[in-house]
Each structure stands twice: as C-alpha cells, then as structure tokens.
Structure 1
Amino acid sequence: MRKAGNFVELSRNEIGKEDITGKTFLYEVSEQVVSDISHYLKQNVPDNEADTIFEYLVSSRFGDDSITENISDQVMQITNELVEQVSDKMGCNFIGIINELEKHMEPLIKRLKNNIHINNNLLEQIKMEYTDLFNVIKEVSAQVFPKFDLTEPDNNEIGYLTLYFAQAIESKSKQVNVVIMCSTGIGTSELLRIKVQNVFPNFNIVSVTSNNDLSVNKDDVDLIISTVKVSDKINVPSVIVNALFTQKDQEIVERKVNEIWSKKNEN
C-alpha cells in the first residue's frame, strides 16, 4: 500500500469489537471496499483485508468526530503523562491542550502499532522555530511511549505533537482582556481574580463585576470568566468556573482562549 509517495507497512492485527466501538461506519466502509475490489477483480479478496483498511482509515484520522467519545484509557494515560512531563521541563502549564491532543494521540498510537509512517512537510520549519520545545517533546516521548509497549514516534510525529504545545505557548503570549463575574461576595470575587491572574499572567483583568452586568462590551473584552451562567444578552465569549478555580476550570479557560484565538486568526 502506498500513500503520498511513502511506503506503508501494516501489521496483521486482528480487529476486536473494542476497536470498532464508535467507529462502526468506518468498518462498514472497509468491508464495502473489500467487496468492491473483489467484484472489480472478479476474484475473492480475504474478508480480513477489511481489518487492514479499517486500521489505515483510523490511523489517518478518518471519522475524527467520533474519537472524542471513545478515548481509550491508554490514550488518556499517555497524553496526560506527556503533557505533565513537558509542562515540568518547559516551566509552562499545558493542561489546556489535553482534549485536543487526545484526539491526535488516538490515530498516532494506531500508526505506531501498525508501522504506518507519515510525512511532515513542516518538520524543518518546526524544528527551527521551536527547537527547545521539539527536543523536550522528543526526549519525553522516548520515555513515555515505550512504557506502554509502543515504539518511539519519529521526528515527523514529534513535529505534529510540537504544534499543539506551540499553539498553547503562542496563546499564552497574547494579552487577553477578561472580566470576572461572581455572584457571591467581594472576598470570593477577589480570590478568583488572584487565582486567575496567577495561572494566566497574560490576562488583563478589566474588571470584577456582579453577575450579568449588561454593560460588558465585546469591543473591550475577549472573555468573561463567571461563576454563574452569563446572560444571552451579553455578546461576549464566556466560561463558567468554580469560585476556587480548580485545575478542571483552568483547562476549560485555556481551551476557550485557544478557541478564541483560532477564530481571530481565521478572520
């Protein structure tokens, strides 16, 4: 099998029900492809060729929308360990990229298991622009993946992983104008403000206000961090967090900031 000029070798792993869960449509497509090839060649193609095609489609991130709901324990463990170690070595909190990285990690692991190699046309540019980050991710990956009986990702894969961490760094370097809304007392509001500022030093906290202050203007504010649901009349992106601003809340905020900057870059 050839893909974009790169030779691809697939190991003959038997597909189990757990592999197909949430990806039934892809497996049905694979079976139909085998049927069509048999008809075209006028000879029987072994049914287990559908397994090979299925593995290749999953490894190529076809059916990506279904991945979020079917993240395996192995993917979550590898992703969390990778993010934790890279965060420690870089002195930067990357917890906000975990969800998106998990969606990338699922097909990456499939590629490693099936000896599928992909080409990264941006590799040299990534290595030049984010040299330290690339090297740290490569070093950490060499420790993390073998722990799960997986081969180390090659430089092409490391390059793609680096882009997720690089996006988080770029987002953190940009100033974000924030309003904090809190329905409780001044003490709680001030505690939330301090916690937010400590975790996100690039946030410019414009004001701390009571819940659903309709004077908040989208032209002046990028994000509202609130402990209560924000009124639909306020046309500003918002997230709801706990007043204690837990790690889960920090992930929610970071994902929202990444989303905001992605939309701005598209425009």
Structure 2
Amino acid sequence: MVEKIERHIHLSLPDDEVWFIYQYIISSGVLVVENHSHSLLHAELLSDQARDITLRLVDRFSQLININLGIDTQLYEGLVVHIRPLINRLHYKIIIRNPLLDDIKNEIADVYQLTRIAVENIFITNAQQSVSDDEVGYLAVHFQAAIERQITHKRVLLVCSTGVGTSHLLKSRILRAFPDWEIVAAVPSDSLPSVSQQLAPDLVISTVHVPEIETPVVYVTAFLNDADLQRVTDKLITEKLHRACDAYAVTRS
C-alpha cells in the first residue's frame, strides 16, 4: 500500500509515516470480513489474547446478570472482532469516538454500566490502560443484542379468568409479537400452581391476579397493547439488569 501511495504522490514516505499508517490499520476492524457464512472470522487474524479476553469478558458479564451468554456464538464472534483492534488501540494509545455514546448511555444505561464493570475487571488484570467510554459503548451494544436474543425462545403459560375465552386472543397477539415463543398451555388461575410445577414455563402471562409462584408473572390485558409488551420486556430484561446494577452498587459501597 505504501508503494502505491509513493507512486501516486511521487515521493517516498518516511519510516515514521509508514509506522503510523501501520498502527492505524491494525487498530481498525478492516482485517476481518463478514462473508455471511456460519463462521465470520478468519482465525489466523485473531490472536490468542483477543480470544482469551473475549471469553473472560463474556463470562464476567454473564456472572453479573446471572444469564449464561457463553453459548451465544454471535456474541462471541462480534466481540472478538472488536476486541482484537481494541487491544491494538490501547497499545498504541489510539482514541476513537463513538457517535452513539450518548444514546447508548440513555437507552441501555444498565447494560452500559454492567459492561463498564466487566471491562474494568478484565482489562485491569491484563495491565492495559483504561478503556474509554467510547469503547465501552461499542461493547455494550453487543451485550444488549445478546440479552435481547435471550428472550426470543421462551416457554410461556397463559392465565385467563376461565382458561379459554380471552386466552385465544391473547395467544395470537403474543405469538404475533414474539413469533418464536411456545405457548405451553392456557389455564384458569386456580390451576396455575399445579400446571406451572408440571410444565415448568419460563414465564407466566396473566390477565387476572394469580397466587404467588416462583416463575416470573407479567400482568397484561387481553388485547396486549404496547404498555403490556413493555411490561413483558421489563420482566425478562430490565428488572434483571436493574437488580444486577443495584447488587453491584451495594457490594462496592
């Protein structure tokens, strides 16, 4: 590339300039190309250090939110592609800007804070310089996507006043909003404890008050409006993240 530049400008580049260009190229993500196959990575371009940091970062974040993200191949591949040039940027003290940082801090604040905690834990042990907020913001987006993928496959038990009536409408609207979910049954409230114990659903969605059980319960209307969908998402994601942030804040104080 330098030879082409020199031919184009009819001048020789000093070694310092060549070294400067080299630092920026290996600190970018251009060396890894997505080819839309099942494996997005060229293994020879990824260092053992990048793989190790990625695995430990995923493991630490999983511990913080009490959800196993280690089986999410898409998360690993997305992170390791970012971690490799990130290591180089830290080494060469190259600063990048994240134009979405303010939006990330506002829209996925809990995930951002938990990502910051995980990054501090992992990179301190690697004797690296401090990872900037901009870098953390990019990593947080990967974790947010992984968390949202966690709710795409759920086994759900519906509870309505009779177990029939409005349950048909509720079922169709739930599957329209979450097409990969499995509705394991629709039951009246008095049958919930025994059926829940037998079927072990991931979530109970109910239009009526139900007895307290170990399985998470979300109360909705039969029409499953936008506010209801937000409550479902909050139960599966937001509350868990809030608890994780609060728990860590307690342990640090």
TM-score calculated relative to the size of structure 2: 0.53
Contact kept, 8 Å, 1:30 with 1:51, in 2: the verdict is no
SS of corresponding position for 1:64: coil
Contact kept, 8 Å, 1:120 with 1:160, in 2: the verdict is yes
Equivalent residue in structure 2 for 1:107, among 85, 104, 108: 85
What is the RMSD computed on CA atoms of the aligned residues? 2.5
AA aligned opposite 1:89: L
In the other structure, the counterpart of 1:32 is 4
AA aligned opposite 1:162: A
The separation in 2 between residues aligned to 1:65 and 1:30, in whole angstroms, is 22
In the other structure, the counterpart of 2:17 is 49
Contact kept, 8 Å, 2:115 with 2:140, in 1: the verdict is yes
- 1:16-27 equivalences under 5 Å are none
AA aligned opposite 2:113: N
Does the C-alpha gap of structure 1 residues 205 and 49 become closer, same or farther in structure 2, counting only changes over 3 Å? farther
The separation in 2 between residues aligned to 1:101 and 1:30, in whole angstroms, is 30
Contact kept, 8 Å, 1:59 with 1:111, in 2: the verdict is yes
In the other structure, the counterpart of 1:122 is 100
In the other structure, the counterpart of 1:63 is 31
Equivalent residue in structure 2 for 1:171, among 140, 149, 152: 149
Contact kept, 8 Å, 1:38 with 1:45, in 2: the verdict is no
The separation in 1 between residues aligned to 2:121 and 2:2, in whole angstroms, is 35
SS of corresponding position for 2:15: coil
The separation in 1 between residues aligned to 2:25 and 2:94, in whole angstroms, is 11
SS of corresponding position for 2:42: helix
Structure 1: runs of 5 or more not aligned: 1-28, 178-201, 207-267
Structure 2: runs of 5 or more not aligned: 35-40, 156-179, 185-253
Larger radius of gyration: 2
The separation in 1 between residues aligned to 2:2 and 2:67, in whole angstroms, is 42
User: By how many angstroms is 1:158 displaced?
Assistant: 0.4
User: By how many angstroms is 1:109 displaced?
Assistant: 1.1
Confirm whether residue 89 of structure 1 aligns to residue 43 of structure 2: no
User: By how many angstroms is 1:37 displaced?
Assistant: 6.8
Deviations 1:73-123 (A, max 9, x none): 110111111110100001122221112210111111111111111111111
User: By how many angstroms is 1:166 displaced?
Assistant: 0.5
In the other structure, the counterpart of 1:149 is 127
User: By how many angstroms is 1:50 displaced?
Assistant: 2.1
The separation in 2 between residues aligned to 1:94 and 1:172, in whole angstroms, is 8
User: By how many angstroms is 1:175 displaced?
Assistant: 4.0
Contact kept, 8 Å, 2:27 with 2:88, in 1: the verdict is yes
Deviations 1:134-172 (A, max 9, x none): 111111211211322211211110000000010111122
User: By how many angstroms is 1:36 displaced?
Assistant: 4.0
SS of corresponding position for 2:33: helix
Does the C-alpha gap of structure 1 residues 78 and 117 become closer, same or farther in structure 2, counting only changes over 3 Å? same
Q: Percent identity?
A: 30
AA aligned opposite 2:46: I
User: By how many angstroms is 1:58 displaced?
Assistant: 2.3
User: By how many angstroms is 1:57 displaced?
Assistant: 1.7
In the other structure, the counterpart of 1:209 is none
Contact kept, 8 Å, 2:2 with 2:13, in 1: the verdict is no
Number of matched residues?
150
Deviations 1:189-229 (A, max 9, x none): xxxxxxxxxxxxx75399xxxxxxxxxxxxxxxxxxxxxxx
SS of corresponding position for 1:117: coil
- Which shows bigger deviation, 109-118 or 48-57? 48-57
Deviations 1:34-76 (A, max 9, x none): x24762xx4x432353232122122221222296322111101
